[in-house]
Each structure stands twice: as C-alpha cells, then as structure tokens.
C-alpha cells in the first residue's frame, strides 16, 4: 500500500494515561517506531506534544473516547493535524487488544490514510455548543421539577392540574404561593385565579380542598424557589448565547463598487458569506423552528455545509438517516445509527412542533407515514426531511419553501383519481369527472 503520511502518530487515550506511538521513515526508507506512555496532567501532555514534535509529526490519530480526548486535543490544536476517529471504525483483530497495540494500530492506519476523521468544529462553535447543550439540560431539569410539584400536590389532595391547564401559570403560581403562605380556605385560594380560569371557580374550589400540612408547605416552598432559580439560569444562558452569536457574526464589510458592465445587469450585487445571525434567520422560516431551536441546531452542525459531502451524510451524522442492512439480496429492517444525540433530540423536538401546524407538507408527510409505519418512524422521517432542508437552505442561503399539504395528491393525481373512482364503483355509484375551469 502507498504511504500517505511519512511522519505520524497514534494515541490511545484513557483517563490517567495516554499511550503514544510515533512513526517515521528514515533516510534508508525503513520505518522507525517508538512507543511511550504519558500521564494526562497538563504538564505531562506538554511533554507529549514536545515528544511528538521532536520527530516532526504532522498527523495524529486518536479515538473519540468520551471526554478524555479533549484535554489532549486542546494542546495539540494548532500545532498538528488531529484525526479524531470513531472507535467502532478502527476495531483491532479480536484477541489482540492492549493499549500499546491500539496506539500502534491507529498509527499504522493513519500512515496509509485509512482513517475517516470525525467533524471537530472550531473553538467558538464548541463553546456555543456547550452553552446550548447546558441550557437544554436546564430546561429538562425544569420539566422534571414541574412533575415533582404535581406529585407533591397530588399527595396533598390538591387536584389543581385537573382544572388548570398550566399548574405553574400566573393563576396557578398565585394559588401555590398562597398555600405556602398558610392559606387553606379553598374559596379564598380560588379567588386568586385570573383571566379565563375565573370561569371555573366552582371547580377550583373543589380542586383546592386538600389536606395540606407543614411538610407539604415546606417542600412546595423549596420547589418553587428551585423553579425561580432555574428560570433565572435559563434566561442568563439565553442572553449569553445571544451575545456569543453576535460576536460570531461580525458586521459585513461594505460591498465593493460594481463595474459599469455589472451596473447594467438588474439585481447585480456583491456576494457575501453567510453569518451566524443570517443562518438563524434562515432556519427560523421553517415550521416548528424558533430562534432558540435554530441556535441549538447550528451549534451542533455549524453554518458551513462544505464540511459535509452531501445532505445525506449530514443526515447520517445527525442520526436520523434510515438504516441500511441488506444480505442475500434481501433488505432487512435497519435501525438508525446513534449519530449526534444532541442534534437528533433537537430535530425530533422540532419535528413534533412542525407536524402540529396544519396545512403544511411536514404535517401531511407525518400523517401519511404514521398510518402505515407508526408515529415513531414517521417523526424520524420528518426529522430526516428537516435536516436535509437545513443543509440546502444554508448551502444555497435560501429560506424554507413549503411544498404544500396537497403535495402527495398532486404528485400522483391520476392514481388517486383512479382509486376514488374504484371506491365509488364498489359502493354502487358511477361517476364521470370534468375538470373545473380555471377562472382567469
């Protein structure tokens, strides 16, 4: 096989140790190799960098083992080219598994160019990704805490959720604070309702008649305080994400003057690169996507689609592409791959919001597939369509264009008409069809 990298190295990274193997070709054309084990403290990793650079290593391969590769990558970034690979793609021959052999195997594969690198975004995007992921964690924790509040109310015979849609809305929060303050009269608590909830005062009086003691009041007070803390944290993270996006979107330079020949062409203008703010505005035109969801999606996959060979590669990387499992000329059911879990979760959330909007292509696609394949497979198909759309929207810098709820009917209009005519014939009717004249 042809040697691609004359000087390279492989790293087997663990929590406490890093086993490194460096390779090079000497003047006689023979391969020289050396293996050494380093610690994972910063001082030890700096010795590792110096040890690799002493041989002029320019390419380094290591597995994406949890979070342990990141300290090594932080010190190698900018000095050499790091190839981060999926551990499933570089499994060694069974029966030959040691840390030294893993490092040598990575170096050998990298030497011949047999490794497929994983996508590692730039540091500003990695920082944005940490912020959006942690904000998602806070939102999930808030949802769990709301369930704990509901569980506590049920244990105190308070059936507020049976009457109010949002237990922690404006009216519900006022009633809960009244319970914490020691108020126990159901009629007095029900009078704290506001807006349309006041039309349910009789039901509220019955729902607020419970057996609330000091134990329940103490727990409820702590949970409400925790909710306020989480709300404040979520708002702070939202502001920080907005500030980072503004920093990552520098103001566009003034367009250069156009030549006389260009001025004669209508709509002539200088092309500009896509910024993060513009990318968010593009994704915001999609059903089910808001500013926060768009920021979370872009933090995972970036705004430059040239880093993915095609839209299908992006869908597979996101973990929403259909599985491909064929054997003996027969196609078997294939599960979707794990992919980027954070991006896949966000795409599924967007898909659920999108299919609830009536009169859209996404809603028609979901109901068409859900009837035959079930809701779970259908929502994955919608998420797959969304990520494909995101790829082309960012690549072409164009907003989302909905195909319409009647897309499938118009695509196979003749087949649909034949099916409906056969159904009428089975019911005992005969019919002739004439197109409605188009009014000019």
DSSP-assigned letters across all residues of 81-123: EEEEE-GGGGPPPTT---HHHHHHHHHHHHHTT---PPP---H
Place of tokens 């190295």: 9
**Is the pLDDT assigned to residue 263 strictly greater than 80?**
no
Sheet strand arrangement including 17-25: 31-39, 17-25, 8-13, 59-63, 81-85
- Residue 81: partners with Cβ closer than 8 Å, 6 or more residues away: 58, 59, 60
Instruction: Give bridge partners of residue 21 from the DSSP assignment.
Output: 10, 35
pLDDT digits (tens, 9 = 90+) for 132-160: 999 999 999 999 999 999 999 999 999 99
Instruction: Give bridge partners of residue 35 from the DSSP assignment.
Output: 21
Closest by CA position to 331, among listed 344, 322, 340? 322
Domain 8-111, classified CATH 1.10.3210.10, yes or no: no
Q: What is the pLDDT of residue 262?
A: 46
Please give the average per-residue pLDDT across 306-311, as a whole number. 93
- HSE of 101 in the Cβ direction (CA atoms, 13 Å)? 8
- Residue 171: partners with Cβ closer than 8 Å, 6 or more residues away: 164, 192, 193, 194, 195, 197
Q: How confident is the model at residue 257 (pLDDT cuts 50, 70, 90)?
A: low
* 144 to 136, 138, 344, 386, 411: CA distances (angstroms): 12, 10, 21, 28, 44
CB atoms under 10 Å from CB of 296, counted, come to 25
pLDDT digits (tens, 9 = 90+) for 358-378: 999 999 999 999 999 999 999
**Is the pLDDT assigned to residue 268 strictly greater than 50?**
no
CB atoms under 10 Å from CB of 60, counted, come to 27
Higher confidence at residue 439 or residue 97?
Answer: 97
Place of tokens 């009216």: 171
pLDDT digits (tens, 9 = 90+) for 270-284: 334 889 999 999 999
Q: What is the pLDDT of residue 90?
A: 80
What is the pTM assigned to this prediction? Answer: 0.86
Please give the average per-residue pLDDT across 340-366, as a whole number. 95
* Beta-strand pair 59-63/81-85: parallel
Q: How confident is the model at residue 253 (pLDDT cuts 50, 70, 90)?
A: low
Q: What is the pLDDT of residue 346?
A: 96
**Domain boundaries, given as residue ranges, for the chain:** 8-111, 125-245, 276-324+336-396
- Residue 340: partners with Cβ closer than 8 Å, 6 or more residues away: 300, 301, 317, 318, 319
**Is the pLDDT assigned to residue 93 strictly greater than 80?**
no
Lowest pLDDT segment from 53-62, 260-269, 270-279, 388-397: 260-269
Q: What is the pLDDT of residue 271?
A: 36
pLDDT digits (tens, 9 = 90+) for 108-134: 999 999 998 888 999 999 999 999 999
Q: 357-394: string of b/e by CB count within 10 Å (b at 16+)?
A: eeebbbbbbbeebbeeeeeeebbbbbbbbbbbbbbebb
Q: What is the pLDDT of residue 325?
A: 77
Instruction: Give bridge partners of residue 140 from the DSSP assignment.
Output: none
């Amino acid at each position: 096989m042809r040697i691609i990298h004359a000087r390279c190295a492989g790293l087997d990274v663990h929590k406490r140790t890093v086993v490194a193997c460096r390779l090079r070709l000497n003047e006689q054309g023979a391969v020289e190799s050396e293996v050494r084990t380093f610690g994972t403290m910063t001082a030890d990793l700096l010795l590792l960098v110096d040890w690799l650079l002493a041989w002029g290593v320019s390419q380094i391969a290591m597995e994406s083992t949890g979070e342990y590769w990141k300290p090594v990558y932080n010190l190698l970034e900018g000095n050499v080219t790091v190839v981060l690979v999926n551990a499933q793609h570089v499994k060694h021959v069974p029966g030959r598994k040691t840390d030294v052999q893993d490092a040598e195997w990575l170096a050998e594969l990298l030497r011949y160019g047999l490794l497929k690198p994983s996508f590692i975004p730039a540091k500003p995007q990695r920082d944005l990704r940490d912020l959006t992921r942690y904000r998602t964690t806070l939102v999930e924790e808030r949802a769990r805490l709301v369930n704990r509040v509901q569980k506590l109310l049920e244990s105190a015979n308070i059936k507020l959720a049976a009457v109010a849609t949002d237990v922690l809305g404006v009216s519900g929060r006022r009633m809960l604070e009244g319970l914490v303050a020691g108020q126990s009269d159901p009629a007095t608590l029900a009078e704290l309702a506001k807006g349309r909830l006041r039309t349910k005062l009789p039901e509220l009086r019955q729902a607020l008649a419970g057996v609330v003691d000091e134990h329940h009041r103490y727990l409820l007070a702590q949970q409400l305080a925790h909710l306020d803390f989480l709300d404040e944290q979520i708002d702070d993270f939202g502001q920080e994400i907005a500030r980072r996006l503004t920093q990552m979107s520098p103001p566009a330079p003034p367009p250069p003057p156009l030549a006389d020949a260009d001025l004669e062409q209508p709509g002539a203008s200088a092309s500009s690169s896509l910024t993060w703010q513009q990318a968010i505005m593009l994704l915001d035109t999609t059903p089910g996507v808001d500013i926060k969801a768009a920021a979370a999606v872009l933090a995972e996959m970036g705004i430059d689609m040239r880093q993915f060979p095609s839209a299908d590669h992006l869908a597979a990387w996101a973990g929403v592409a259909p599985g491909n499992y064929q054997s003996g000329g027969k196609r078997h059911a294939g599960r979707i791959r794990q992919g980027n879990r954070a991006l896949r979760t966000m795409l599924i959330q967007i898909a659920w919001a999108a299919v609830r909007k009536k009169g859209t292509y996404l809603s028609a696609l979901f109901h068409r597939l859900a009837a035959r394949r079930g809701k779970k497979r259908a929502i994955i198909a919608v998420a797959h369509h969304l990520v494909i759309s995101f790829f082309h929207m960012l690549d072409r810098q164009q907003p989302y264009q909905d195909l319409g709820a009647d897309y499938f009917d118009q695509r196979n209009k003749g087949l649909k008409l034949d099916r409906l005519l056969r159904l009428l014939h089975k019911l005992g009717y005969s019919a002739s069809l004439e197109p409605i004249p188009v009014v000019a």
